[in-house]
Structure 1
Amino acid sequence: MLDFLYYPVSAVMWFWHQVFGLVLGPSNGVAWALSVVFLVLTLRALMIKPVLSQMRSAQKMRRLAPHIAELRKKHGKDRVKLAEETQKLHREHGVSPLGSFLPALVQVPVFIALLHVLRYFNRPGLSFEQNAALPNYVFGPDEVRSFLEARLFGAPLSSYIAMPQNLLDSFGAHVDRWHVVVVAVPLILAAAVATHVTARWSQRRQQLDPATPGAGIMKLFPWLFPLGVVAGGLFFAFPIAILVYWLTGNAWTLAQQHLITKKLDREEAALPPVVAVAESARGPKPGQKPVAPRPGAKPVTRTHVAPKQAAPKQAAQHPARKEAAPKQAAQKQAARKPGSPRSKPVRTAGTGQA
């Protein structure tokens, strides 16, 4: 049913096994483990662009935090209105709170396909020889036998802790369950810790808003994912090769997040600050009567106005006026004294009138 996933995943793994098998030997357990590791690296390298888009979206969410806090103050009692306004704000700025989990969701089909391919190397109900005689998608019978004979620190790569004893015995008398436990348990613990650190770091960078639908469940993801790894490794059919896949994927994620975060921080430092909330959107001060805005009036933002400086004296503004000021004062003073020649009326030329 999912052959469109099984064949590509098995083809990538086959290619890397051919590369490492030439150097280490086709049945070497390290060669097979490295083929799983580089399968992860190949798939994750193809996902760098969507991961970068997701982390940019999370960066926008952090920049919108003051706006969301303002909406929370305004609609704190109306949870439905708060959720509507928050979603509207997210749409206006082109961000999605659920976008940070899309890369992880894309990996789920790949994980299912790899689990299916690895389990088909050792199919339940068949003996070692029967499995070694059957192909496994792009792997031929000889390559299936090579995988079944591969050991990683003494444990078969296709084995798991809860494997039935009859299947475990099919690997040979030199393989014991304790060989599987000694190799699988450290891988399970390391994969669980890496999963927790990766999910927690991603959630802290995203700063998920509590008003977002499903935010409460998302906060549990850093704990649910590691528990899934532990349960799958201890009680379900998670082969050692799957644990290698899981550990490699989380190690890649930690390194990728560290490098991309530095890049995004440099981009954010060059961005202008987010526009402040308009003053008309703020509530009135305590005791102040709210005033309805006029129709068509633009929202006014609160700005700082510098104090107005006192204008200089008029006499000091222009040099000509500064020189004429003493003469004008003397004329006014002479006009007030009776009998002064300057106080006599001056005849206007050509009129004969005073």
Structure 2
Amino acid sequence: MLDPVYYAVSAVMWCWHQLFGLLLGPSSGVAWALSVVFLVLTLRALLIRPFLAQVRSGRAMRAIAPQLAQLRKQYADDRPRLMQETKALQSAHGVNALGGCLPAVLQIPVFLGLLHVLRYFNRPGLTFEQNAAIPNYVFSPDQVRSFLEARLFGAPLSAYLSMPQQLLDSFGGHVERLDVAVVAVPLMLVAAIATHFSARHSAQQQPPDGPTASIMRFTPWIFPLGALVGGLFFPFPIAILVYWLTNNAWTLVQQRIVFSRLPAVVSPPAPVVAPAAPALVPATPQDGDPAVNRAGGGGGAKRKRHASGHRPSRRRR
């Protein structure tokens, strides 16, 4: 089912190895390592536009964080209405939750494809001569032999720390586990550090509160474990560690460049409902109120009225 991915990954890697093989030699470990590095660079160059869309969506989400908090407070007991209002607010500000995950989702099949192609250079249960006689997707048998003979500072590119010694010896000669550790352990540590900084930089661009805020706080410490645990206990070849390091180094540099050129996010304040003004109650006039007791000559006594209700007129003297 994933054969198209395997062929695509191996084809890109083949193209770059043809170039670097002419410069450094077809069996050079550096040439094969550079083919993995430029496989990553090719993929990430194709994902620049989705990454920019992800950044815009994340910054828009950070800008509307106060409104989202107000909606969660207002519709705390009405989940369907909360979802409806949240989607409407996100749509109005250009927030695309699925688009924000697209770059990470597209990298998963490439990672799995590269892992599969690397493992098929040295198939378990076969000798060196048997593996060197079998093509590996777009790689011919001669190129498979070249890969098996290549060494990066003394270690095969598809070797890993927990690889059985019998499989290590099928690379065309005896390989010490120490030689693999000398290359794999520094790559693991540097890849974990690069992952930590890239994840921390990404977490700083997320809204400070929200459903995923608590999760994002721990990602700078959880994601690096993938490189450390995978390199120590799982069959992560040295070439996969090169891929991991290159990918996270690209992410870190790309984040620095893009975020430094974008203006700072200014979050508008959450809408505040003004309290209703109190109703005005008319004051009851008092007897001593000067507005009421206005009589001729400033007298305080009220003039008497006739039975008809009219006041007696004053005679002119």
TM-score normalised over the length of structure 1: 0.72
Q: Which residue number corresponds to residue 251 of structure 1?
A: 249
Match of 1:283 among 249, 263, 273: 273
Q: Which residue number corresponds to residue 18 of structure 2?
A: 18
Q: Which residue number corresponds to residue 103 of structure 1?
A: 103
Q: Counterparts of 2:267 and 2:208 in 1: how far apart (Å)?
A: 18
Helix, strand or coil: the match of 2:120? helix
Q: Counterparts of 2:187 and 2:78 in 1: how far apart (Å)?
A: 44
Contact 2:65 2:267 in 1 (8 A): no
Helix, strand or coil: the match of 1:160? coil
Q: Which residue number corresponds to residue 227 of structure 1?
A: 225
User: What do the CA deviations read for 1:177-218 (whole angstroms, capped 9, x no partner)?
Assistant: 0000111011111111211211221121122642x3x55445
Bigger mean CA offset, 250-259 vs 223-232: 223-232
Contact 1:97 1:208 in 2 (8 A): no
Larger relative contact order (C-alpha < 8 A, sep ≥ 6)? 2
Q: Cα–Cα, structure 1 residues 275 and 30, in superposed 2: closer, same or farther, change >3 Å?
A: closer
Q: How many aligned positions are there?
A: 278
Alignment of 1:82-101 (within 5 A): 82=82, 84-97=84-97, 99-101=99-101
Alignment of 1:115-264 (within 5 A): 115-207=115-207, 209-210=209-210, 212=211, 216-264=214-262
The aligned amino acid for 1:249 is N
The aligned amino acid for 1:35 is S
Helix, strand or coil: the match of 2:243? helix
Contact 1:121 1:148 in 2 (8 A): yes
Q: Cα–Cα, structure 1 residues 62 and 275, in superposed 2: closer, same or farther, change >3 Å?
A: closer
Q: Cα–Cα, structure 1 residues 259 and 23, in superposed 2: closer, same or farther, change >3 Å?
A: same
Q: Cα–Cα, structure 1 residues 274 and 235, in superposed 2: closer, same or farther, change >3 Å?
A: closer
Q: Identical aligned pairs, as a percentage?
A: 63
The aligned amino acid for 2:88 is K
Alpha-carbon distance, 1:106 to partner: 1.1
Q: Cα–Cα, structure 1 residues 13 and 70, in superposed 2: closer, same or farther, change >3 Å?
A: same
Q: Counterparts of 2:228 and 2:120 in 1: how far apart (Å)?
A: 22
User: What do the CA deviations read for 1:229-253 (whole angstroms, capped 9, x no partner)?
Assistant: 2221111111101100110011111
Aligned-residue CA RMSD (Å)? 2.5
Does 2:43 correspond to 1:43? yes
Alpha-carbon distance, 1:146 to partner: 0.4
Alpha-carbon distance, 1:72 to partner: 4.9
The aligned amino acid for 2:176 is D
Q: Counterparts of 1:26 and 1:133 in 2: how far apart (Å)?
A: 17
Q: Counterparts of 1:262 and 1:29 in 2: how far apart (Å)?
A: 36
TM-score normalised over the length of structure 2: 0.80
Helix, strand or coil: the match of 1:200? helix
Q: Counterparts of 2:173 and 2:139 in 1: how far apart (Å)?
A: 26
Q: Counterparts of 2:149 and 2:236 in 1: how far apart (Å)?
A: 18
Contact 1:56 1:264 in 2 (8 A): no
Q: Cα–Cα, structure 1 residues 65 and 217, in superposed 2: closer, same or farther, change >3 Å?
A: closer
The aligned amino acid for 2:163 is M
Q: Cα–Cα, structure 1 residues 78 and 154, in superposed 2: closer, same or farther, change >3 Å?
A: same
Q: Cα–Cα, structure 1 residues 274 and 234, in superposed 2: closer, same or farther, change >3 Å?
A: closer
Contact 2:66 2:268 in 1 (8 A): no
